[in-house]
Amino acid sequence: MPDAARLPDAARPGLGRVLTAGVTLGLVGAAVLAVARQAVWFTDREAVNLGLSLAQVAAGLTLLAVALPRPRPAFNRVAQAAAGLLAAVTLARAASGAMLGFSGYVMPGHSVFSTEWLGRVAGFAGGVLLVALAGVVLAKAADGVSRRAAALILAGALLTALVWQVVAVVQFFQGRALIRLPRPAFKALAWGINHQGWQLGLLLALALLLVAVRLRTNLSLARAPITAGRQAEGDFRVLPAAAASGTPLWTNPAQWRLVKATARRRLRFGAGGLLLGAGVLLAVTVGAYYDGRQPELSPAEPLTIVGNLAIVNLDQVDDGHLHRFAYTTAEGVEVRFIVIKKNGVAYGVGLDACEICGATGYYERDGKIICRLCDVVMNVATIGFKGGCNPIPLDYVMADGSIQIDVADLAAAAHHFA
């Protein structure tokens, strides 16, 4: 029978106050970061992010070193301080990003009371509510899990978070040429940068695993007969007084009924936690994939090559929509360019690439020409001119009812697509 000395760390006095202080400090820090990032004078954002990442790494390593092994009283305050620091820094970074999300809800020239704005606010508020509700339910559902299971899953969560924080730190030093990585390490860094979204999905999966472990125990308790049973480890927390005295709970049917009632209540929380957690997990994985998925480019239309000229007949492009063409160089590089009729006599001709976003291309949506990478809407009247995210201009002449482009100019633009 477990005794009071084996109460999990979360039940020890002081940790609740430390975590409350950490959450409060994190919210204040989030507000400060959100305001600072909007200010003109706040230019070195990477340095601030580096400091936050280093703090998260230090707090996480401290917890791994002193809290997850069998705890010793001498390290209790150190573990509590590390947990408070980790909570504060993590919340500050996450919440500041959420606060900054409001700044992008109103596009220049659009009304605050538009349907688009209301939809964005409703989506944001619904997402915050879903995450908060899932967090509360998951915490309730995992309450009382055995120390071994909690330690293993917490270790996995800390290691998952630490991997991506280390990636952020190394990326800072690599980007400023302060270190030079060997090729295998650089490939590993690139993989971590390109898969940052996996971090949240893995953390949510571990949280659901914690709930599932506890759900299995509660299910066994709820089904056990009142007169039988060995108490599952961790359930002494239902009646701490009985645990301290060493009295087996199943010797008193009334106490055992209380254990079973508590198990049934936790089962309800567990089922709700799994459903809500699965919903959040789907939102940050499948939902994020579909939200961030780039639109497919329309296929290239037929292009006539006569001598050293690429020829596009005007009747192909006189409908005012975007038309894409491709020329393959002698080296096998496909050079794409677009043509759109801007008005009665003018055409916009440019590469299907820009100086800022590269060769990601443009697509048409609701009559608007949009950059596929940054989602910026082009001013059709400026296509064919340099500047901003406009397509890189391409020289052409109009003759014999067609747009004629020198293939040498297309070949010279191959480096944008190579």
| Higher per-residue pLDDT: 30 or 123 | 30
Q: What is the pLDDT of residue 336?
A: 92
Record: fold of 304-416: Rieske Iron-sulfur Protein (2.102.10)
Query: What would the two tokens of residue 166 be?
Result: 């280390």
| Sign of the C-alpha dihedral computed for residues 154, 288, 282 and 98 taken in this order | positive
Between 249 and 286, whose confidence is greater? 286
Domain edges within the chain: 4-292, 304-416
Lowest-pLDDT range, 127-141, 186-200, 248-262? 248-262
Strand order, beta sheet including 397-399: 304-306, 309-313, 402-406, 397-399
Q: What is the DSSP string of 205-256?
A: HHHHHHHHHHHHHHHHHHHS-TT--PPPTTGGGGSHHHHHHT--GGGSHHHH
pLDDT for the residue 75: 60
Average pLDDT, the chain: 76
DSSP 348: E
Is residue 308's pLDDT more than 70? yes
Rounded to an integer, the average pLDDT of 14-18 is: 74
Q: Which residues pair with 362 in a beta bridge?
A: 371
The confidence score (pLDDT) of residue 243 equals 42
Q: Which residues contact 258 (CB under 8 A, 6 or more apart)?
A: 238, 239
Give all strands (DSSP E) within 259-382, no chain letters: 304-306, 309-313, 323-328, 334-341, 347-351, 362-365, 368-371
Per-residue pLDDT band at 1 (split at 50, 70, 90):
very low
Determine the average pLDDT of the residues in 21-42.
80
Average pLDDT over residues 234-245: 42
324 — pLDDT class (breaks 50, 70, 90): very high
Per cent of the chain over pLDDT 90 is: 4
Checking if the pLDDT of 43 tops 70, the result is no
DSSP 337: E
Confidence of residue 194 (pLDDT cuts 50, 70, 90): confident
